[in-house]
Each structure stands twice: as C-alpha cells, then as structure tokens.
Amino acid sequence: MKRLLRVGSRESKLAVIQARLVIDTIRRHHPELEFELVTMKTSGDVLLDRNLDEVGGKGLFVKELDVGLRSGRIDFAVHSLKDMPMETPEDLPVAALTKRENPFDALVMPEGAEKIDLSKPFGCSSARRTLQLQRLYPGSTVKGIRGNVLLRLQKVDSGEYAATVLACAGLNRMGLQGRVTRVFTENEMIPAAGQGILAVQGRAGEDHGYLACVDNEEARIAYTAENAFIRRLDGGCSSPIAAYARLEGGSIRLFGLHYDEESGRHATGTMAMPAGDAETLGYALAEQLLKELRA
C-alpha cells in the first residue's frame, strides 16, 4: 500500500493551486506516496473588514494549519512564504522552500481600462505597497482592499478603485498574467520578504526526506538575507518594510526599505556580499538604513 500524506492548505483557489504544485512535484519523484488535500478556512480569510495588523497580523493565515499539524490532521502544510510570520515555532519547522516564481508586484487596472483614473483610490491594504505607490504616484489616495485574488479583481472591475497591486507570482500561478498592466521593478517597488516562494511546513522530528525534490537552495539563500533584514528591523505585518534578494553568480544582492514611524521618514538601499554571507548581508543593510534615518 502507498503511504498517505495529508496536505494542508487554505481554501482559496490560489492556495489550492500552490499546494497542488508542491504535491505534483513530490508525486513525480515519489510514486510510492499518495496525497490527500485538506483545505481549511483561516482567520485571515474570514476577517476581511479590518487590516491584518488590527486583528493579529500574518499569523492569522497559519493559525488553523498549525493546529492541524500539531493534532495530526495534516502531515505538512503549504504556505505563501510572504504570508508567514518571520519566526516559526520550533515544533513546526519549514522543511522546504520552493524555487521562486516572479517575485515582483504588478499593477492591475479595471478590465478594459486604458488609462489609470487617479480620481479614484488605489485598492491596497499593505503598508509596504502603499508607501511605495504614493511615491510612484504623488497625490494619489489609497483605500483598503482585502480578500483573495479573485475577490480583489472583482472589486477593481466594479469601478470602485483606480487599480490594485497584486503579486506577479499569484497571478502567474492562476493563469491571470493577462490582467497585469505593469510590473514594478525592484527599484520602483521592493517586494515583501519571501514573495514568490512557497514554504512547506512540517512537524519536528519527522522524516521529510521526500521534500528534497521541492527544496531550492537559491530560494533558501535569498530568504536568509531577507529574513535577517526584517528581523533586525522588527518588521511586523503593519510595518512598511520590504526586502528582496537575488543571486548574482557567487554573490547575493539585497534591496531593502525601512520606514521610521517616529519621524515618518523612510530609506531604501542595496548591498551585495558573497552568497555564503546572506544572513550577515541582511543585518548589514538593515544597519545601514537605520544609520541613514538616524542622521
């Protein structure tokens, strides 16, 4: 008999697609395994009338799946890495990080629109995106928008918003590349740490050898730098902090943004080091931006 593994995922269409991408990869390498997809509605999917920082932050997207792992209801969970807290519980380690999809953000206007209507607000609930949007479009206004990708697209198409900003990775995985109006570069809008990477979370002490086929070394190195940068700046869900790292041969280059709430000032910067110094790079760039904002 094949060994059955129960895979946890949020209920949204994108989350299910992402979980199935991981399952399909493992199945190709391990035909002796069988899988059952277990979907759960998380608190983050239910509480759509308030910003995440008002009701518990990124942990709301993993809470129910964490319970499922601890109870044995599921054997591993698949998350968008950018939606996970910076620190994970010791008993529920991240066992694999997938190869990164397009890490950048995309501007999405109402379907059929040819020109952006700045008399209407941008639909955006991310402090990171809001800060960078208003720098790119001076004088624009921003209004909160919550919900899954399809729900946000419906709200934009209804005419309530001038446009919204969504992750290219999610749009690509859902086959919605045609909705992209503009892809922002790292010099225009630095992505969230981990954006475009999927995280596979399991239980400590168990054999996760079958996940080696989905684990990607470049993603781990990049996220090590991004995570160190965010942790040094105590970046929570509500903080306009961004970090994106890419490998350049034997080096790694990190782009970062930090916002100082007391002064209302922000700073962006970039720095490169050998790939083996990814964590050191994250801390060093954070210190550089802190020094700049304190000057």
Tell me the C-alpha distance between 38 and 105, whole Å: 29
Q: Helix 217-232 crosses helix 278-294 at what angle (to 10 degrees)?
A: 30
Tell me the C-alpha distance between 134 and 138, whole Å: 5
91 is catalytic: no
Residue 79, classed as helix, strand or coil, is strand
The residue with tokens 């100082």 is 260
- Residue pair 59/201 in contact (Cβ under 8 Å)? The answer is no
- Residue pair 199/178 in contact (Cβ under 8 Å)? The answer is no
Tell me the C-alpha distance between 291 and 260, whole Å: 11
Q: Which of 53, 83, 117, 157 is catalytic?
A: 83
Q: How far is CA 106 from CA 21, 150, 166, 177, 227, in A?
A: 22, 15, 5, 10, 22
Could you list the active site residues? 83
